[in-house]
Amino acid sequence: MKRAFITGVTGQDGSYLAELLLDKQYDIVGMDVNLSPEHLQNINHFSNKITLIEGDIRNRDLLLKNIKTHQPDEIYNFASISFVPDSWDSTITTLGVNAEGVVNLLEGVRQTNKTIKIFQASSSEMFGAPRIQPQNLETPLAPRNPYAAAKAYAHWLVTCYRSTYNMFAISGILFNHESPRRPMSFVTRKITSHVAKIKYGLCDKLALGNLDARRDWGYAGDYVNAIWLMLQQDEPEDYILGTGETHSVREFCELAFGYAGLDYQKFVIQDPGYFRQEGEHLRVADPTLTFRKLHWRPRVNFQSLVEMMVEADCALFKTIKA
Over residues 299-320, the pLDDT tens digits come to: 999 999 999 999 999 999 998 7
Q: Rounded mean pLDDT of 103-111? A: 97
DSSP 322: -
pLDDT-derived band at 85, boundaries 50, 70, 90: confident
Element (H, E) at 54: strand 51-54
Task: Please give the Cα distance from 177 to 215 (Å, whole number).
Answer: 10
Task: Please give the Cα distance from 155 to 172 (Å, whole number).
Answer: 9
DSSP 244: S
Cβ-proximal residues to 206 (8 Å cutoff; 6+ apart), any chain: 190, 191, 194, 195, 198, 253, 267, 268, 269
pLDDT of residue 322: 59
Strand partners, 28: 4
Task: Please give the Cα distance from 192 to 198 (Å, whole number).
Answer: 10
pLDDT of residue 275: 80
Q: What superfamily would CATH give domain 3-177+219-241?
A: NAD(P)-binding Rossmann-like Domain (3.40.50.720)
Active site residue ranges? 123, 125, 147
pLDDT of residue 278: 62
Q: What are phi and psi of 20, to 5 degrees?
A: -60, -45
Q: Is the pLDDT of residue 279 over 90?
A: no
Task: Please give the Cα distance from 291 to 178 (Å, whole number).
Answer: 19
Q: What is the mean pLDDT of the chain?
A: 95
Cβ-proximal residues to 40 (8 Å cutoff; 6+ apart), any chain: 10, 47
Strand partners, 241: 174
Per-domain residue ranges of the chain: 3-177+219-241, 181-216+245-283+300-321
pTM: 0.96
Do the domains at 3-177+219-241 and 181-216+245-283+300-321 have one common CATH topology? no
Task: Please give the Cα distance from 190 to 193 (Å, whole number).
Answer: 5
Task: Please give the Cα distance from 203 to 185 (Å, whole number).
Answer: 16
In three-state secondary structure terms, 267 is coil
CATH number of 181-216+245-283+300-321: 3.90.25.10
pLDDT of residue 37: 92
pLDDT of residue 320: 79
